Amino acid sequence: MKWTHALALNVLAILAPIQPVLIATGVLIFADLVLGLAAAWKRGEAITSAALRRTISKIVIYNIAVISGFIVEKYLMSDLIPATKLIAGVIGAVELKSILENADTINGAPIFLSIIKSLGSQNDQPK
């Protein structure tokens, strides 16, 4: 049993540099889940286990992708190409796009357009 603890500690030590990246992708996935549930509720759609299962798949696949990119970057390319950041950037862009689409659905209009309109002053209106 001691060798499993040693193995787990070694794996955690190797992956420690990408902990913030894994946390950031996890936060984006969770935000997408919450806003996706709210958007589905607003559209009157049923929330099924199949839809929720996609979130688990995303967590596993995205983490494997980031970890694989880190291993390739660190141990095969000697930090020549920032594979971890490129992979995490693509994942972040996809999740952010999904979050914004869900926010638009919840808001009933494009969220950034609504924010810009609410920030405008009465002096900006044509006379």
Total domains, the chain:
1
Whole-angstrom Cα distance, residue 112 to residue 95? 17
Torsion (CA) 102, 108, 113, 115 in degrees, nearest 10: -90
Query: What pLDDT score was predicted for residue 67?
Result: 96
Q: Considering the chain, what is the average pLDDT of its residues?
A: 89
Query: What pLDDT score was predicted for residue 86?
Result: 95
Domain that holds residue 58: 19-117
Asked if residue 66 belongs to a domain, the reply is: yes
Contacts of 106 (CB under 8 A, 6+ apart): 35, 38, 39, 42
Q: How crowded is the C-beta side of 45, counted as CA atoms within 13 Å? A: 13
Inter-residue contact 66 to 88 (CB < 8 Å): yes
Asked if residue 39 belongs to a domain, the reply is: yes
Asked if residue 5 belongs to a domain, the reply is: no
What is the percent of the chain where pLDDT is above 90? Answer: 64
Asked if residue 111 belongs to a domain, the reply is: yes
Average pLDDT over residues 18-44: 94
Average pLDDT over residues 95-104: 93
H/E element, 112: helix 111-119
Asked if residue 25 belongs to a domain, the reply is: yes
Asked if residue 47 belongs to a domain, the reply is: yes
Query: What pLDDT score was predicted for residue 126?
Result: 60
Asked if residue 57 belongs to a domain, the reply is: yes
Residue 127: pLDDT band (50, 70, 90) is low
Average pLDDT over residues 90-118: 89
Query: What pLDDT score was predicted for residue 122?
Result: 61
Asked if residue 75 belongs to a domain, the reply is: yes
In the chain, count H helices and then E strands.
Answer: 5, 0
